[in-house]
Amino acid sequence: MASVVEHGEDTGEIAETFKQLGVTDVLCEACSQLGWKTPTKIQVEAIPVALQGRDIIGLAETGSGKTGAFALPILQALLETPQRFFALVLTPTRELAFQISEQFEALGSSIGVQSTVIVGGIDMMSQSLALAKKPHVIIATPGRLIDHLENTKGFNLRALKYLVMDEADRILNMDFETEVDKILKVIPRDRKTFLFSATMTKKVQKLQRAALKDPVKCAVSSKYQTVEKLQQYYIFIPSKFKDSYLVYILNELAGNSFMIFCSTCNNTQRTALLLRNLGFTAIPLHGQMSQNKRLGSLNKFKAKARSILLATDVASRGLDIPHVDVVINFDIPTHSKDYIHRVGRTARAGRSGKSITFVTQYDVELFQRIEHLIGKKLPAFPSQEEEVMMLTERVAEAQRFARMELRQQGEKKKRSRDETNDGDDDDDAEGALGVRKKVTGGKKKKWKVQK
């Protein structure tokens, strides 16, 4: 196999417009309607190469406009040779799949592009119907796509022209390796492949060898880094006062929108209930919520109906919410690279933002690793201990309420499971409830795109 061609860093003059990159007029128009005035670095690197029909490895930090870098060349190729089941985009999370679909729809609306999202947590039957309408672009998580390839009659990807793996490092980290191998076996070898990843791991290199032909490497950020306009702080606190410090910071920085990262689904739910009890408009987003609720939370936050989104790492990658002012690492991430993705939710596309990482007596080593990775020492966030201590009583009361509500929610879930299922496991029960609602009431709405 030919070695990877490097296409990077300094290309002299940066293209000022999408037209200069070779993007056709109708798509340039779509870009300007979306408010994309000038191409980002990764788009400047990747689009001309992709338009020449080369395979691409795109390495770029989060928030750098990767979706546009692969969507525009695919749509342009689709215009030249219209075909159903033209492109497949694989992503690690459901939310990211919906977001990529929105961008394809927005960019391709004037040329009638149809896309379908194939992810878990949604009824297989309505997805099969959508696939039967043969969309141009499929955006999928690997597991659910395999389900359809194996079980949906008449569905195959034997004519596929483009394969994109977005957040490839994360797809492989979530142990989708066997699914990805299966997918590679049933799609044509003669295709264009784009591999986009924030980090180049050993698994990604292995995948590159298996899936790409003579690729061009478009790297706009070779080392791990965070955006320059991001002000990063840490705050060193005793672990038992974490909740009080969180409330203190939310009061200090009131008027901003916050994304708060917790390590577990349970802690996300608990902290959301705690903050609601104290009068904050907080909303949770984690993997144990049904897909409808997850999208609902995300949309409320995007529409600014809620100012605080509490999330697990399910939301740390890829999600583009333009107005996050402050990211708080309530629980420090165990993998240092996750820190980069979390804080990358703010200071996107040239805006400024803040991040504050809570460091307790148990987190010192993890925090030092993060500082080592990003190559800088972070300043401490200024706080008044006396003011924090004044909050402890109210916070303790809210903690008690939150624990009670969590317990009640658990019992309610258990009861509804017992009534609807004779021994299905948790997720299926919740899924079954969700699906029943969707099949009766929401199916048409979900697949409106497919007219």
pLDDT at residue number 206: 79
Residues 6+ apart with CB under 8 A from 189: none
Query: Which residue in 357, 325, 354 sits closest to 338, CA to CA?
Result: 357
- Classify residue 331 as exposed, middle or buried by CB count within 10 Å of its CB (0-12, 13-18, 19+): buried
What structural domains does the chain harbor? 18-219 (3.40.50.300), 230-402 (3.40.50.300)
User: Do 428 and 282 contact (CB within 8 A), yes or no?
Assistant: no
With tokens 């890829």, the residue in question is 318
pTM, two decimal places = 0.63
pLDDT at residue number 434: 36
Apex 326 CA angle, 333 and 38, nearest 5? 105
- Classify residue 321 as exposed, middle or buried by CB count within 10 Å of its CB (0-12, 13-18, 19+): middle
* Rounded-to-integer distance, Cα 310 and Cα 271, Å: 8
Q: Kindly state the DSSP code that residue 441 receives in the 8-state scheme.
A: I
pLDDT tens-digit series, residues 70-112: 999 999 999 999 999 999 999 988 888 998 999 999 999 888 8
* Rounded-to-integer distance, Cα 281 and Cα 256, Å: 12
pLDDT at residue number 119: 93
pLDDT at residue number 387: 93
pLDDT at residue number 183: 94
Pairing of strands 56-59, 87-90: unpaired
- Enumerate residue ranges in the chain where pLDDT < 70: 1-15, 61-63, 221-228, 315-320, 322, 347-351, 419-451
Q: Could you give phi then psi for residue 187, rounded to 5 degrees?
A: -110, 160
